[in-house]
Amino acid sequence: MAASDAHKMSNLSKAELHALPGVSAPDPATNGFVFQQTMFRIKDPKASLDFYTKALGMTLLERLDFADMQFSLYFLGYADPAKIPEDRKERVQWMFAQPACLELTHNWGTESDPGFKGYHNGNSDPRGFGHIGIAVPDVEAACKRWEEMGVAFQKKPADGKMKGIAFIRDPDGYWIEVLDPRSSTAFVDWNSSNH
């Protein structure tokens, strides 16, 4: 693809965007559908919950245990704790209606199994899943705080060609992209600028 073609493609109007091959207008039958969760398998819930609640500021919305299958699910999200229902059944129903939750799946015993090697994060061969992303008001300030907390970085804001975004890693090695929505407009003119 020529650079001029790439630039033309990256400057799509809303109509052109929605007319790309394979794109369909939402079927009215999907009204009310919500992207509700992404799931990560985790080794140690204590380490993961500490990371997601302390480092990322998420709230634990619910925990569901399945003793017969020996696993637990932890659901996290950015929600006001005061709005989480007290009644357990109401809380579970409310939680499953929240958009963009993170589900952490813990298979019991992995946290104390010395032979457990962990899970594939999708960023080494064979590649597949890449990362989740969070928006923050100030990438530099967030990264400074995480650096002081000892959070692992995959990419700092000044590294690489894509300046101003970062990638951190959770205790299981999953990548989390960190960006400021206000600076994301730089991606619009990416193909016409010098990097």
Task: Show which residues are catalytic.
Answer: 177
Burial 106-117 (b: 16+ CB within 10 A, else e): bbeebeeeeeee
Could you tell me if 191 and 7 are in contact, meaning their C-beta atoms sit under 8 angstroms apart?
yes
Residue type, 30: T
Torsional sign, CA 191, 176, 54, 90? positive
Q: Which residues contact 15 (CB under 8 A, 6 or more apart)?
A: none
The identity of residue 162, as a single letter, is M
**Cis peptide preceding 137, ω within 30 of 0:** no
For residue 45, CA distances in Å to 81, 104, 139 come to: 20, 8, 27
